[in-house]
Structure 1
Amino acid sequence: MTENPVLGPADLEWAEVTLGALATRFSSVVVGQERLLRSLLTTVLSSGHVLLESVPGLAKTLAASTLASSFSASFARVQCTPDLLPSDIIGSQIFDPSTKGFVTELGPVHANFILLDEINRSSAKTQSAMLEAMQERQTTVGGTSYRLPDPFVVLATQNPIEEEGTYVLPQAQLDRFLLKEVIDYPIPNDEIEVLHRVETGAITDPGPAVCGTDDLLKLQRLAAAVRVADPIKRYIVEIVNVTRRPGDFLDSGQARWIEHGSSPRGAIAFLLAAKASALLDGRDHVIPDDVTGMRHPVLRHRLLLSFEALAERVAPESLIDDVFAAVPTP
């Protein structure tokens, strides 16, 4: 049995410097949004994917592209529309008259970072084309499978207030996203800084990349090496179990709002996100706060609310808080 590598002081110091450089570059473009930055870095460290949701104009696309450009890695942006085809994303076979045969042209998904802008504007068929890529890290074109590059991170955005010309993401695809982050309006002081940067042009040039793909892969290995004690793992499983059996742990008023709970991917997401959170804070081990701090982005898209909850506009975040309150902290 192979033992997990142990994080030493030098590893933690290197990670702190590298993550600090990434945060500084991000903040030079995106004002405020510390919670968003933490979710994006957590996603990257965990080798996962993230769904960003907000009304238009809150820098979802800017945040995703700024993070991707912080690494000297391949990046592709796909503007999702109703007429977008699966082959536009994963690739297709094209007839070559010179050879009288077909050649494979791989699509933009074959990049280290891919930004799917307004993913809910693409049709269900096109959305499903991303399932294999996000979960299996491969695509199939003309009966041949092609491995995606490593690292591979999907950054998707969606606008929740428009319904015309949109297709709601199915639960099976939502579950593929490690985190779902909801972006709020900036506070007044941050918005004043945005206006200042637009006026001076400081928002247009983030500067060169600060990390390479080797650095990113090393960060991911360090995050994977963060230790998680058995009581923390049990805590995660108990939380996910409450979402599946709310009637046994919550009062009847709260329980009736949860139609279906989280799949085992929710527990895995908590484990990976907690490890990344610990590394972001310079620790080689997970504490309960790492789990509770990720509760909303991990669970908000994994709880299927009942019709009553939707009719009464119950916020999933309040239900998640109720779930955590029902489980003793180790």
Structure 2
Amino acid sequence: MVYVADDKRYDNMRYNRCGNSGLKLPAISLGLWQNFGGVDNYENGREMITRAFDLGITHFDLANNYGPPAGSAEELFGKVLANDMYPYRDEIVTSTKAGYNMWPGPYGEWGSRKYMLASLDQSLKRLGLDYVDIYYSHRPDPETPLEETMQALDYAVRSGKALYIGLSNYNAEQTAEALSILKSLGTPLLIHQPSYSMLDRWIEGGLQDVLEHSGVGSIAFTPLAEGLLTNKYLNGIPEGSRAAKPSAALNESRITPEVQRRIRALNQLAVSRGQSLAQFALAWTLRGGKVTSALIGASRVDQIEENIAALTNPDFSPEELERIETILKTEL
């Protein structure tokens, strides 16, 4: 069956300008970190991508190592683009990254020019694209000079293989230094992708100020704290959930009874607003306009539909914000 995009796809999505640039991003973007790899069901991935686009999500976020196996999320997205969505390519913002381990040997990770540009060429081949819209340095390299990594990003734009560049996981000081280098090169920084949620607020300690001062946009990853800010863990760790796996980053050591009491209190406030906890958390992440877009993950279409509904009730009263702070600052 030939995919035809919903002609009302732009009616209800909110689009925010990314810093001082000319680019707007949807308030909710879809990340392909989990559930879009070679081990996952292709048709489910295809259905999530096309449904997201029908709901106004125009930005799809990837990285070279997303899968598993590494590279397979880009391959899946490239297949969906080629088979279903290529007529809409110019309506889509595709991003990818390089920085984490991708192939064996000394040139397969971090931030050298050799790795960054080789990885970009590989990503373009997997995606079936001539260029990506945003190319990120996925993490700072403690051994490679920052100038070298930024020069590689600058070259990606000048060579026509990327339209914009971004940083991810850089702290405030590193970001400020990168901004200075990029300004001297003549290629502006478009966006920063940090972790940010009600339970992870490190960017408020300086990074947001750097971005706002410099006119750089931001897109928050893990705004639902890897599922902790959803209804899934209100009453424990369900069997078969991500947190039930011994190797998971989100596990029982983080989901303590005290943390559960906190998220249950947040959930009560969400219910009083007519929202699920996930919708409530996404609306909070986007409050005040400092965050350009919230980056969601999904394993099912209905999760995407639920998350986008957060935009129907985006505003918080001063009393609600004060109540949230009280809950979050309660000693565990």
TM-score (norm 2): 0.27
Give the number of the structure with larger relative contact order, counting CA–CA contacts within 8 Å between residues 6 or more apart.
1
TM-score (norm 1): 0.27
- Computing the radius of gyration from Cα coordinates, the structure with the larger value is 1
